[in-house]
Amino acid sequence: MSSILHTIAIAAGGVLAGLALSGALLWRQQQALAVARYEATHDEITGLPNRRLFLTRLRAALGDTAPVGLVLLDLDRFKTVNDTLGHDTGNVLLDQVGRLLAGLPAPVQVAARLSGDEFALLVSGDHEDTAAAAHAAWQVIAAAPIRVVNGDISVPASVGHTHTRGQHASPRQLLAEADTAMYDAKRSGGGVCEYCPRGAPPQRRSRDRHYH
């Protein structure tokens, strides 16, 4: 091989190596971006959509003309689990509950963990569909003890639900209504409660942090 051809071959090899390195770096950057986007929209413990993604999906659903329902629930005595068995066990419990809720069939469209031990369901449908989803969520959690590292734990839930009732509604309104219903259920000792309009806007509570 002549010295010219040898020089060309070396240069071509360098170009190909550079292209391969650039491609690898670009792939890694794309992977890192995908991971960052996922972590920004999903809960790290359960893998469910987080509050940010849930609100995005809720706003999109409210932009359609079809009726929409919202279910909120939190776990009764969850603090006791954390205090007596440790936060690792509490995290396992949250993960198991998340799996149960994620497995609920249609009309449940999205199951999310908002914060702490509070979960939310976005339902496509009217009053009957939303009520059915709320009771299904309560039943699937209460149906059997949930297995964690320390054994089996029975942790019931308090569930509140509301729906659009045919009028324009905002995420803030639906979350406030479902929140009120959930606290009504909790004050009654657990179970499922539907939001009932009382002729005045539902009281704002500390959980208004979900709206921001």
Answer whether 185's CB lies under 8 Å from 160's CB.
Answer: yes
Radius of gyration for the chain, computed over Cα atoms and rounded to the nearest angstrom:
24
- Note if 117 is an active site residue: yes
**Residue in 153, 37, 144 with CA at minimum distance from that of residue 93:** 153
Active-site option among 117, 129, 152, 208: 117
> Under a CB-based contact definition with an 8 Å cutoff, are residues 190 and 77 in contact?
no
Beta strand spans in the chain (E): 68-75, 108-115, 118-124, 146-148, 151-153, 157-163, 191-194
Encoded tokens for 145: 């003890």
- The amino acid sitting at 55 is L
CA dihedral over 127, 51, 60, 104, signed as positive or negative: negative
Angle at 122 (CA atoms; ends 116, 128), nearest 5 degrees: 120
CA-CA distances (angstroms) from residue 74 to 2, 59, 181?
Answer: 77, 22, 12
The residues annotated as belonging to the active site are 117
